[in-house]
Amino acid sequence: MPIIDEVVAKVDDWKNKEIKIEQLSGGLTNTNYKVLVNEKPFFVRVPGESTELLAIDRTNEYHNTNSAANVGVAPKILNYFPQYNVMILEFLDGKTMSKDLLNADGMPTRMAQAIKRLHTAERFYSDFNMFRLTEYYLNLCRERTIKIPDGYLERMPTVNQIEKAMSVKPLATVPCNNDLLAENYIDDGNQLWLIDYEYSGNNDPTFELGNTCQEMQFNDEQIKEVCAAYFGEATPSLIAHMKLNMIMSDVGWGLWAAIQATSPLLILISGAGQLNVGAEP
């Protein structure tokens, strides 16, 4: 029996009710479903096989999703089945955002406000560090004889300099999503919701801000708008932190994209072991 059917059968509140299961599009490492129970929608996320090999810790994801929901920026977890690593969440009635939609006037401020709200959450389960994640991806390329993009290794001394610069006066880490691409924002008309906490962890807030600015390809004025909306000011130092993390966003996620384009998602790293991108607090 498919996992989605097993899970649906285990929800006591759903017994003897009319059930409709609809698979949703999207979801790189998961299969997502909209389940209608007497016409009321629920969201069910079923992980793909061996996704722990992608450094996705499902205990971390569950804990952090719950923390984010408690501050009203993520959907609530209604049921959790740890034997399947399946979460049943509130179904958000809103629009999945795109890069174009998030480049509209006023959206950088709304994004920063949602992010700031997330960052008030209870401390997340573990930490996240893009420098360590990049090292893991490079080792993976070497182990699997995967072609590293031309010129990439020549830039690693610059990456080392960025890490040194960021360590001089580090900002206190806060609970971060760390993967706020456009599709991980949902607009219900009243607020922006932040979803998908697979790579979440405590991190420098300017990584969160810089990463999402890079994903949206924001210009300097939009970057300043995000910074001012989050910190109350857009100082040269804060902008510099954000821009260095915009570079690191491309360094890390760009290398992962190159790996993914080379080989199938999990066949590639089968047996590579699980990455610890941070330490438990």
Q: How far apart are CA 60 and CA 58, in angstroms?
A: 5
Measured from the Cβ of residue 219, the count of other Cβ atoms closer than 10 Å reads: 12
pLDDT tens for 224-275 read 999 999 999 999 999 999 999 999 999 999 888 777 776 555 444 443 334 4
Percentage with pLDDT > 90 across the chain: 75
Task: Output the pLDDT for position 275.
Answer: 42
97 by DSSP, 3-state: which?
coil
Residue 4 pLDDT exceeds 90:
yes
Which one of 1-5, 103-107, 260-264 scores highest in mean pLDDT? 103-107
pLDDT tens for 79-104 read 999 999 999 999 999 999 999 999 99
Concatenated DSSP letters for 4-50? HHHHHHH-GGGTTS-EEEEEPS--SSEEEEEEEETTEEEEEEEEPTT
Instruction: Specify the CATH number of the domain 95-262.
Output: 3.90.1200.10
280 confidence band (pLDDT: 50, 70, 90): very low
pLDDT tens for 115-159 read 999 999 999 999 999 999 999 889 888 888 888 999 999 999 999
Q: Cβ neighbours of residue 246 under 8 Å, at least 6 residues apart?
A: 210, 211, 213, 214
Element (H, E) at 185: strand 185-187
DSSP code for 52: G
For residue 264 the two structure tokens come to 């199938």
The dihedral built from the CA positions of residue 148, 149, 152 and 153, taken in this order, carries a sign that is: positive
74 confidence band (pLDDT: 50, 70, 90): very high
DSSP code for 183: G
Q: How far apart are CA 7 and CA 87, in angstroms?
A: 10
Fold of 9-90: Phosphorylase Kinase; domain 1 (3.30.200)
Task: Output the pLDDT for position 238.
Answer: 97
Mean pLDDT check: name the lowest of 29-33, 74-78, 274-278: 274-278
Q: Are 264 and 255 in contact (CB under 8 A)?
A: no
- Domain spans, the chain: 9-90, 95-262
Task: Output the pLDDT for position 1.
Answer: 77
For residue 157 the two structure tokens come to 């001394």
Task: Output the pLDDT for position 145.
Answer: 84
Place of tokens 């009635």: 93
Predicted TM-score (pTM) of the model is: 0.89
Top pLDDT among 28 and 279 is at 28
Task: Output the pLDDT for position 25.
Answer: 79
